[in-house]
Amino acid sequence: MKNDEIDYKLYGDDMQFVEIELDPQETVIAEAGSLMMMDDQIRMETIFGDTSSAGGFLDKLKGAGKRLITGESLFITTFTNDGHGKKHVSFASPYPGKIIPMDLQQLNGKLICQKDAFLAAANGVSIGVEFQRKLGTGFFGGEGFIMQKLEGDDLAFIHAGGTVVKKDLQPGERLKIDTGCLVAMTSDIDYSIEAVKGVKTALFGREGLFFATLEGPGSVWVQSMPFNRLASRVFSAAPSTGGSSEEKGIGGLSDLFNK
């Protein structure tokens, strides 16, 4: 698969990683901690803020602050091919799901996504903050007042949980989804929050008190397994017994053999 700036290949199904091919002196940026492996002669450099913070210390501090309030690290990492031939660097998703290539040039230069969605991108892609204009969306939207904003005309990679489906909405067409299942949307989507109708449905439906309403025109990407839902299920299934860690381990073995 090829984009104007970088070549890439996706591997795997449920635990994917992306391999990016770099020409000599070509650079890719990635979220801190996402590196899986890289060839020799690739130079790795950690930057305070992001690559779009090209000014002085205050500009870099502003860029780092934007990343911090979106739930990301204060730092971003660049990978540059200092060799003479093509080199490869690979980045892995942090939990089961899909890696989605996004050509920002085909998305009018801007993509709005959940706070921890960014994985890697071509050098020059700016990672910023998208503030939600509506108060209800900010309080109850699952992602708070802010979402992540990717801007540029190059390729970016985002990740999401479970299976991901893209929905193309026509003008005036509306889609209602669970607030945590929203992965990304184009900038022309109108995004709002609605309360679940009916007391019994809200209290006992186990679907949350609010859902997101998205109105076209534009494109929306939806994930089947938000990380918070996965973490909640794992936490609820974990055994909760008293005593020390050694006692818990012995008790767990005893329970296992008694079954």
Q: Is residue 246 part of a domain?
A: no
Split into its structural domains, the chain has a count of 1
**Max CA distance (Å), the chain:** 66
Q: 206 is in which domain, residue-wise?
A: 7-237
Q: For the chain, how many helices (H) and strands (E)?
A: 5, 19
| CATH number of 36's domain | 3.60.160.10
AA letter at 75:
F
Task: Kindly state the percentage of the chain with pLDDT values over 70.
Answer: 65
**Entry field: residues in the chain:** 259
pTM comes to 0.76
| pLDDT level of residue 248 (50, 70, 90 thresholds) | very low
Can you tell me the distance from the alpha carbon of 241 to that of 198, in angstroms, rounded to the nearest whole number?
37
Local confidence band at 189 (pLDDT 50, 70, 90 cut-offs):
very high
Distances in whole angstroms, Cα of residue 216 to Cα of each of 43, 171, 208: 43, 5, 24
Q: Where are any strands of DSSP class E within 59-217?
A: 75-81, 87-92, 97-103, 110-113, 118-122, 126-131, 146-151, 155-161, 164-169, 174-178, 182-186, 190-195, 210-215
| Dihedral (Cα; 193, 177, 172, 115), 10-degree rounding | 70
The DSSP secondary structure of 191-218, one letter per residue, reads: EEEEEPSSHHHHHHSSS-SEEEEEESSE
Determine, yes or no, domain membership for 52.
yes
Whether 247 is covered by a domain: the verdict is no
Residue 259, in any domain of the structure: no
Is 103 a domain residue?
yes
pLDDT band at 154 (very low <50, low <70, confident <90, very high): very high
Please check whether residue 204 lies inside any domain of the structure: yes
Give the SS3 label for residue 153. coil
Per-residue pLDDT tens over the stretch 30-58: 988 899 999 999 999 988 655 554 555 45
pLDDT score of 52 = 53
Selected residue with higher pLDDT from 68 and 10: 10
Alpha carbon distance 168, 185 (integer Å): 10
Q: Is residue 253 part of a domain?
A: no
**Residue 157: its pLDDT value, please?**
97
Of 160, 135, 9, 129, the C-alpha closest to 64 is 129
In a domain, 197, yes or no: yes
Amino acid at site 235: F
Tokens of 197: 């109708």
User: Tell me, what's the pLDDT at 155?
Assistant: 95
Rounded Cα distance, 29 and 121, in Å: 5
